[in-house]
């Protein structure tokens, strides 16, 4: 039984080693990484892949909305300055070594057999695979909502951690690059529900990694100030309100947690309220 379990866990090690080779062999000379312990190879792969994902998604999205679609999605005066975006990049790059430590530790725990991760979708039915993903995402959404809310409500945490992200508190200071512009510990705390859920819900290993790294793309999206108005998605319109009011729309993927716990503010209703205020002022 012990041999079977060790053999099963080696599937995770083999898979992470495969990902390490794919990324590192294309980006670095083998002499710089082949001699490193497996854990450090995994961290280096996550670090390099995280940076690539951050810069590629950020630059492409900024190019699209600020250049190709200038004045289509945002007026000229709502576009953040180059200085603001460079500051966001600086904060994110400084924190990236710490951010990418979290998925590295989670992979180590999976390889050690401490979580409920499984290696192959064939171990479950496709139906249970999708049920497990849905359950995992609900737990992650719940965890991120309350982690984010407490980072606001607990003044010490806000002052020393989350305030770093909230210096971007106007539409013309927010950009896709703000998505990872956090204090390192703040970023780790908000991603922690992804790891906690591994101990509760059976989740496919590769799917977990994919969802974790999709965070970089998702956080870029919700900081672009463009309201997609796709129910029940917690899009950029909702998240822009969060950055300007500090007390609404703490959710991550959807509006459900804010609706359930009374912190939801709809951007369409916000626009109506602002127009009413303007009319009264006239």
SS (H, E, C) 171-191: HHHCCHHHHHCCCHHHHHHHH
Residue 270: the pLDDT is 61
Residue 261 has pLDDT above 80, yes or no: yes
Mean of pLDDT values over 201-209: 94
Residue 245 has pLDDT above 60, yes or no: yes
Work out the percent of the chain whose per-residue pLDDT is above 70.
94
The DSSP letter of residue 233 is B
Q: Tokens 């992979």 identify what position?
A: 107
Q: What is the pLDDT of residues 29-77, one digit of tens each?
A: 999 999 999 999 999 999 999 999 999 999 999 999 888 888 788 888 8
- The rounded Cα 123 to chain-centroid distance in angstroms is 28
Minimum mean pLDDT range among 75-79, 103-107, 132-136? 75-79
Hey, what are 106's tokens?
A: 């989670």
Residue 198: the pLDDT is 96
Residue 272: the pLDDT is 42
Residue 282 has pLDDT above 60, yes or no: no
Residue 71: the pLDDT is 78
- CB of 197 within 8 A of CB of 136? yes
Residue 256: the pLDDT is 95
Residue 276: the pLDDT is 39
Give the CA distances from residue 23 to residues 46, 50, 88, 207, in Å, rounded to whole numbers and listed in that order: 9, 11, 26, 18
Beta-carbon contacts of 27 under 8 Å, excluding residues fewer than 6 positions away, are 48
Residue 110 has pLDDT above 60, yes or no: yes
Residue 22 has pLDDT above 80, yes or no: yes
Residue (of 243, 234, 244, 236) closest to 264 by Cα position: 234
Q: What is the pLDDT of residues 223-244, one digit of tens each?
A: 887 877 788 989 888 998 999 8
Minimum mean pLDDT range among 52-61, 182-191, 214-223? 214-223
Residue 275 has pLDDT above 90, yes or no: no
Mean of pLDDT values over 257-280: 70
Q: What is the pLDDT of residues 148-177, one digit of tens each?
A: 999 999 999 999 999 999 988 777 888 999
Q: What is the mean pLDDT of the chain?
A: 89
- Kindly tell me the burial class for residue 42, based on how many C-beta atoms sit within 10 Å of its own C-beta (0-12, 13-18, 19 or more): buried
Residue 2: the pLDDT is 52
């Amino acid at each position: 039984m012990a041999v079977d379990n060790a053999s099963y866990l080696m599937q995770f090690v083999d898979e992470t080693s495969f990902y390490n080779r794919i990324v590192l062999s294309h980006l670095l000379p083998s002499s710089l990484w082949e001699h490193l312990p497996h854990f450090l190879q995994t961290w280096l792969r996550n670090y390099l892949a995280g940076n690539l994902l951050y810069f590629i998604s950020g630059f492409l999205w900024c190019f699209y909305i600020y250049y190709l679609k200038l004045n289509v999605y945002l007026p000229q005066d709502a576009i953040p300055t180059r200085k603001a975006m460079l500051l966001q990049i600086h904060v994110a790059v400084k924190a990236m070594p710490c951010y990418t430590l979290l998925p590295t530790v989670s992979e180590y725990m999976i390889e050690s057999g401490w979580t409920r991760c499984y290696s192959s979708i064939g171990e479950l039915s496709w139906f249970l695979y999708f049920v497990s993903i849905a359950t995992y995402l609900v737990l992650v959404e719940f965890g991120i909502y309350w982690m984010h809310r407490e980072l606001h409500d607990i003044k010490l945490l806000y002052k020393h951690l989350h305030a770093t992200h909230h210096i971007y508190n106007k539409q013309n200071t927010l950009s896709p690059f703000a998505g990872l512009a956090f204090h390192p510990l703040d970023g780790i705390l908000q991603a922690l529900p992804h790891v906690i859920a591994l101990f509760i819900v059976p989740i496919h290993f590769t799917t977990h990694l994919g969802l974790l790294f999709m965070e970089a793309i998702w956080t870029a999206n919700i900081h672009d100030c463009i309201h997609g108005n796709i129910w029940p998605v917690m899009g950029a319109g909702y998240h822009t309100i969060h950055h300007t009011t500090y007390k609404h729309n703490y959710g991550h993927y959807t509006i459900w947690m804010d609706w359930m716990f009374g912190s939801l503010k709809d951007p369409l209703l916000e626009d109506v309220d602002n127009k009413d205020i303007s009319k009264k002022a006239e």
